[in-house]
Structures are given as structure tokens and as C-alpha cells.
Structure 1
């Protein structure tokens, strides 16, 4: 197998609000929007009667896929980063300090930008659905 990354998916409750966050706050371009339903989709995702609205955004070498399902699943809080099953999206930026300064005031962060022992500068932001996004400058 010679697999390469195609997309990274985040399931969201409010697709419009999430698109606005990733487009307007983080600068990702919307590549496409589409709907999928039908028996093959429901069987493929293992959710009876499922249909979904999708948005693909340009995240460099792969796409960020935002997906909103009908029916919605249980709304559980996202696990903390140090818990098994935790996930986050990592996006590389050229100038983390400048990006941090340009974030809208209503974007929640876990801290100010930090430089780790490895020399990488990181800043975790929280999207409107509670998902963590790591902005990093190597």
C-alpha cells in the first residue's frame, strides 16, 4: 500500500459556524461543499439513515473536511489532549506571533504562544465546536 493523506475530518454540529471559523479566523479557503446520503453512505459510516453536509477546505497538502451529520450523535465533551482518544488538527504557519495577534478576540486559546524544548512554537486554539487546533511554527 502506498497511502497518502487526502483529508482530515472533524464532525461538527453547526457547519456554517465552523466554516466561518476555519475560513475567517484561520484563513483556510473553502474548496467545495456537498451533501451525501443514501443507503450506501449510511452503511459505509455505520449510522442508520445517515446523511451529511460536507465542506472541504484547503489545508495545504491535504483537505480539512468539516461534516455535519443527520441524525446527530451524542454531544460529548472533547477529551483533553492527554487522554486516550483525544485528537487535534495541526496547522503550520510561517509567523505564529503574527497569527496570534491577528486572531479575532472571540477565539479561545489554551495559552499564549509557547516555544517548546524542541524549538517549535505552538498555540492551541479552540474551534466553535470545542475541537482543538494546534497552530505551530517549526
Structure 2
């Protein structure tokens, strides 16, 4: 790879309540907070194409990539709950060593799409929704 070739830095998830979402990803997935910061100003607003935008950010440690949670002001209108087969749908993928143990330890208030499943490829998967409805795939490869 050339030094100018793109490399994964982070996966971003826009949230409504940064503190609640940091607590969820910390408590459910054990992700440590690497940093918290705010960004504003004209260059930021122009860069994200949101007039007058400011953002509060948290970077979480997910191993080889960071999970970036960001709360914007102003906040856009809410969208409906995403479905995986919708064009443009996104999800965060996190791996665990033992999916059944992870599932057994989940709090009853964590919404899942199904029990753990084994796909045709042999991968074990489980999808959960975070408190704001964002999809997270938990897999045991």
C-alpha cells in the first residue's frame, strides 16, 4: 500500500443523545472512550454541509477502527428505523469470540432482530439495535 492509499480511520454514527449512546456502547460492547471533543465554526459547517453546524464527538476503541459517535446541532428530522435491505442502509459490525455467550449476557432491554443465526457461509451473526435504532451486527467469524 502506498502512503496515500486510504486506510480505515473510523466509522461514524450520528446520534441524538451522545451521553446515552456512549454509555450503551461502553456497557454493552465494552468499547473504551478514546476521546471526547466538540467542533464548530464555518469550516466545519461548510465541510458537513449543515448551516451553522456544531458537533459533539466521542471516539470509541473498537480494535482496528474507531467508532465515532457525533451529536449535531442543529439536529435534522428523525428518520424511520433502518432496515438492512434499504438502499443506503448502514450498520456497524463488531466481532466477538463467542456469540452465544455474548447473547446470553445481553440485558433484556437490548433489542435484537433474532436469536444468533449461522449463515450459509458459516458465520454466526446477531443484529441488535442501539437505543436510537441504529443497527449493530455482532458476529463470530
- Tell me how far apart the structure 2 counterparts of residues 24 and 80 of structure 1 sit (CA, whole Å): 24
Asked if structure 2 preserves the Cα contact closer than 8 Å seen for 1:96 and 1:137, the reply is yes
Q: CA deviation at 1:79?
A: 2.6
Q: CA deviation at 1:103?
A: 1.1
Asked if structure 2 preserves the Cα contact closer than 8 Å seen for 1:115 and 1:122, the reply is yes
Count of residue pairs the alignment pairs up: 138
Of 7, 12, 27 in structure 2, the residue corresponding to residue 9 of structure 1 is 12
Gaps of 5+ in 2: none
Residue 92 (structure 1) aligns with = 95
Residue 61 (structure 2) aligns with = 58
Asked if structure 2 preserves the Cα contact closer than 8 Å seen for 1:79 and 1:85, the reply is no
Classify the secondary structure of the residue corresponding to 1:125.
Answer: strand
- Tell me how far apart the structure 1 counterparts of residues 123 and 90 of structure 2 sit (CA, whole Å): 19
Asked if structure 2 preserves the Cα contact closer than 8 Å seen for 1:126 and 1:132, the reply is yes
Aligned pairs for 1:1-138 within 5 A: 1-138=4-141
CA-atom RMSD, angstroms?
0.8
Asked if structure 1 preserves the Cα contact closer than 8 Å seen for 2:82 and 2:134, the reply is no
Which runs of 4 or more aligned residues in structure 1 lie more than 2 Å from their structure 2 counterparts after TM superposition? none
